[in-house]
């Protein structure tokens, strides 16, 4: 099943690449500064997180003496969460948004979630690159530890893609599914140690937060950005398993309902 979908997507790689380019151009095409906004917007956000919280609000991270530590911690967590959230949120509506395309053109339906993944990945690459540039300028670049972000982000993206496909298929047949997943993401954000460190939580609550598969992923991203060392690879086994199961379930659901999606639209 997976091999067939991969082959179908590979045969349509030209369509996928052109769609990604078109969506990126459409986002900034009618603005005066054009694609420069792709840099200005994330640069402003990174500056707010890094400077406002660390310098103006004087927020401090327990156990860290650096003045920018909390800003780095917050930025690494929110940017990674943003990638996860964007894939799911755009995946929820991808079939509805491309209803006319699905009815008029014959192409592998799996291309649409992959386009969502690549667009989100490109947006993340821009903003995370600016974040790393700021770390380099301020003397906080994590060095070789940065290589560990690749497997961490891979697990994060697979998990988000699986959930996004499930949400997208369900949203076609049950429009309340989109609202449900939107609310779920809000709770999930605060149930993950992104704006707060795990160490400040009461002992009775920590096991529940640690059971969240996103917790070790985002904590790894934050530790890498702070230059604290390599992730605990054993802690990433559970998130990797959840991501794999989510993708398997998503592809099974997608393959079973792919033909019915067009009829429902």
> CB–CB of 21/118 below 8 Å?
no
Q: Residue 120: is it exposed, middle or buried by C-beta count within 10 angstroms (0-12/13-18/19+)?
A: buried
Give residues with Cβ within 8 angstroms of 197, minimum separation 6.
61, 62, 73
Q: Give the separation between CA 226 and CA 240, rounded to whole angstroms.
A: 23
- Residue 27 CA to residue 243 CA, distance in Å, equals 30
Give residue 223's pLDDT: 92
pLDDT, residue 101, reads: 77
Domain boundaries, the chain: 2-264
Q: What global pTM score does this model have?
A: 0.88
Give every CB contact of residue 219 below 8 A, 6+ residues apart in sequence. 193, 198
State the pLDDT at residue 8.
Answer: 72
Instruction: Kindly report the backbone phi and psi dihedral angles of residue 167, in degrees, each rounded to the nearest multiple of 5, phi listed first.
Output: -65, -40
Q: Which parts of the chain register pLDDT below 70? A: 1-2, 5, 27-43, 46, 49-51, 53-67, 263-265
Contact status, residue 72 vs residue 50, Cβ threshold 8 Å:
yes
User: Given this model, what pLDDT does residue 58 score?
Assistant: 53
Please identify which residue in the block is written with the tokens 């894939």: 87
Q: What is d(CA 258, CA 110) in angstroms, rounded to the nearest whole number?
A: 9
Q: What pLDDT sits at residue 196? A: 85
pLDDT of residue 109: 81
Cβ atoms 111, 97 nearer than 8 A: no
């Amino acid at each position: 099943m997976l091999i067939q979908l991969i082959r179908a997507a590979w045969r349509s790689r030209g369509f996928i690449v052109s769609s990604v380019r078109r969506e990126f151009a459409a986002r900034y095409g009618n603005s005066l500064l054009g694609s420069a906004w792709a840099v200005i917007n994330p640069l402003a956000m990174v500056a707010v997180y890094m400077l406002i919280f660390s310098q103006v609000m004087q927020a401090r991270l327990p156990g860290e003496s650096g003045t920018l530590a909390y800003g780095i911690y917050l930025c690494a967590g929110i940017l990674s969460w943003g990638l996860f959230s964007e894939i799911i949120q755009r995946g929820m509506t991808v079939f509805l948004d491309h209803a006319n395309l699905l009815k008029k053109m014959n192409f592998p339906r799996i291309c649409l979630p992959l386009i969502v993944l690549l667009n989100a990945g490109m947006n993340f690459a821009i903003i995370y690159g600016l974040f790393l540039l700021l770390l380099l300028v301020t003397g906080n670049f994590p060095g070789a530890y940065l290589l560990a972000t690749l497997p961490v982000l891979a697990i994060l993206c697979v998990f988000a893609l699986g959930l996004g496909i499930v949400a997208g298929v369900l949203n076609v047949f049950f429009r309340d599914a989109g609202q449900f997943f939107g609310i779920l993401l809000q709770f999930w954000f605060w149930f993950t140690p992104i704006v707060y460190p795990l160490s400040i939580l009461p002992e009775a609550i920590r096991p529940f937060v640690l059971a969240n598969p996103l917790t070790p992923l985002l904590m790894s991203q934050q530790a890498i950005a702070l230059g604290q060392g390599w992730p605990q690879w054993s802690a990433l086994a559970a998130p990797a398993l959840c991501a794999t199961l989510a993708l398997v379930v998503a592809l099974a659901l997608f393959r079973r309902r792919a033909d019915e999606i067009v009829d429902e639209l």
